[in-house]
Structure 1
Amino acid sequence: MRVFLTGGTGYLGSAVLDRLVAEGHQVTALIRDQGKAEAVRARGAVPVLGDLADADAVHRLADAADGVIHLAAPGDDSSARIDDAAATHILAALKGTDRPYVHTSGLWVHGSGAAITESTPMNPPRLTAWRVPIVERVLSTPGVRGAVVAPAVVYGRGGGLLNLVASGPRTQGDAPALTMIGHGEQHWGTVHVDDLAALYVRALESAPAGSYFIGASGVNPTVREITEAVSRAIGLSGRVAPEPVARTLERLGLLGEALLLDQQAGGDAARRILGWTPEQPTILEDLVANRLAATS
């Protein structure tokens, strides 16, 4: 399949690109930095210099593809506008073709919940509230085999939010402790980046139109458990300290609001519909192996 991929040089995008190439797909990756072109070629894809805000380029590349995976996100105040525009141009190019389009959301849009499934109502924090109407449009556009993947907290390959945890404040004294995000009793849904990449490729290849998948391994440790494992990985012997919620919000802003959500999810729809099975080490097992960019 000829696949148009956005975000192919990012943390998740690199894993998805590798998986696509490994399974024989021909990948065209939109890149913003010409300096990354050789790295993309080395991974087996064709780089195209451009920007998600370039309507003509996005439409043209989507129109020329057999399917599209959209992963790119600026991660700043322009995220809502850019993501909406990209989805609009991709859907316009694919409408009426029944070609697949896999769009990215996130588990955070469901808010807190002890058993979040694909049917759990959306109750997003302010950081990701803009995702909801775009998701609804992707799932309902006629003539497009639209699917949405909503990843949990992604880890593995030394990347992801674990590095934010690792770079958190330390307490003072001879035996410093790593500060947790909040009180630490909230759960995070988790998924290994390589398992998540496999889910994206399966969704591209076979997801029915209107499919919505939570990308979660079913392993939902508490932030305390995660931070203790990170603490051991960075040489603090598992020592951790809670942080008042108000201080977390002051330190991390809207991101802190999202990270304070208490979420547990299993990703059952992907297992049932796509036959997806997470195979990589759990987040705590991965940390035992000291796989953190901050410690390498």
Structure 2
Amino acid sequence: MKTLLTGGTGYIGSAVLEALVAAGHDVHAVVRSERAAHRVATAGAVPAWVDLRDVDAVSAALASMDGAVHAAAPADGADELNATVVDAAIRAFGDGRARLVFTSGVWIRGSGRDLDEDGTLDRAPDLVAWRVPIEERLLDSGVDAAVIEPGVVYGRGRGLVRLIADGPRTPGGAMRLIGDGGQHWSLVHVDDLARLYLMVLEHERPPRRVIASDGAPTTVRAIAEAIAGPGRVVPEPPDVTRERLGSAFADALMLDQVASGARARAIGWQPEVERVLDDLVRDRPAA
């Protein structure tokens, strides 16, 4: 399959690139620099010089593809970029001839102890609320589209778990939590997530929305104690966390989310790393 990939040098996208190439896809990875072009070429993809903020350029790039994965996540202007990609996809894939796998995030569902894909999308925090109307416009179009909603992604020494590990310490050396640490994060290892993207892209009839969760939601406190040791963590007042990380980001990190990822398993996906705590223990240096 000739597949256009955005975000191929990013955290999630680079793992997706590896999975696509390993599965035999003819991957054309969007790049903006010579350095990025070298990285994707080394990984086995064809560099595609496309301005993702230019709807005509994106539409033209999609026109020759059999499918596409949108995993780009710029630090600024992500709403504008995602809207442009959706506009281009509707133009190029609007007749349903090719599939677009689109990246969202489980944060759009707000807090909840039994989150699934059939729930409402009216509780998204400010940080990600902009995603919902863009994604719904895509899903309401004629594009053969699927939206993946990753939980908190970790693995390969990166991801938001590093916010805990690299967070501030008390004078006595205890690790400060994000808020009180009682909130659950629904997590997914980046390599397992990449395999889900591949599966959704290739599936005959995938769900329109798929939550990517390892099925073992874990509290921030438990993650911190796995890193620092039992009793070596202290809660942080929410207002202090907001001041430290910014209100919008902190409020997203303090969401209490329990999602099983059952719909992904229903199409055959099974995470190989099923608990973030196992991964942390495995990677912990020997004493």
TM-score range, shorter chain: over 0.9
Q: Which residue of the other structure, out of 224, 232, 241, is the alignment partner of 1:239?
A: 232
Match of 1:57 in 2: 57
CA contact (8 A) 2:117 2:210 kept: yes
Matched, 1:211 2:208: yes
1:99 partnered with 2:92? no
Letter in 2 for 1:146: A
Partner residue in 2 for 1:110 = 109
Contact 2:215 2:274 in 1 (8 A): no
User: Are residues 97 and 115 of structure 1, via their aligned partners in 2, closer, same or farther at CA, if it must alter by over 3 Å?
Assistant: closer
| Distance apart, 1:54 and its partner CA | 2.4
Which residue matches 2:80? 81
Structure 1 residue aligned with 2:282, among 264, 289, 296?
A: 289
Counterpart code for 2:103: T
Q: Which runs of 5+ in 2 are unaligned?
A: none
Output one character per residue of 1:18-66: Cα deviation in whole Å (capped at 9) or x when no partner.
0001111110000122212122111110112333112232111111110
Aligned length: 283
1:238–1:7 CA distance, 2 compared to 1 (3 A):
farther
User: Cα 1:56–1:238, aligned 2, differ >3 Å: closer, same or farther?
Assistant: farther
Contact persistence 1:2–1:28 (CA under 8 A): yes
Q: Percent identity?
A: 48
* Farther off after superposition, 256-265 or 35-44: 35-44
Matches within 5 A, 1:1-296: 1-76=1-76, 78-122=77-121, 123-142=123-142, 144-173=143-172, 176-206=173-203, 208=205, 211-232=208-229, 239-253=232-246, 254-272=248-266, 274-290=267-283
Contact 2:211-2:263 within 8 A present in 1 as well: yes
The whole-number CA distance in structure 2 between the counterparts of 1:228 and 1:60 is 50
Structure 1 unpaired stretches of 5+: none
Distance in structure 2 (CA, Å) of the matches to 1:104 and 1:207: 19
SS at match of 1:124: coil
Normalised by the length of structure 2, the TM-score is 0.94
Within 1, Cα distance between the matches of 2:66 and 2:239? 48
Q: Give the Cα–Cα distance (whole angstroms) in 2 for the partners of residues 147 and 87 of structure 1.
A: 12
TM-score normalised to structure 1 length: 0.91
Runs of 4+ residues over 6 Å off in structure 1: none
Question: Displacement, 1:280?
Answer: 2.1
Structure 1 window deviating more from structure 2 (63-72 vs 278-287): it is: 278-287
In the alignment, the residues of structure 2 paired with residue 106 and residue 70 of structure 1 have an alpha-carbon distance, to the nearest angstrom, of 13
Question: What's the RMSD between the two structures over aligned residues?
Answer: 1.6
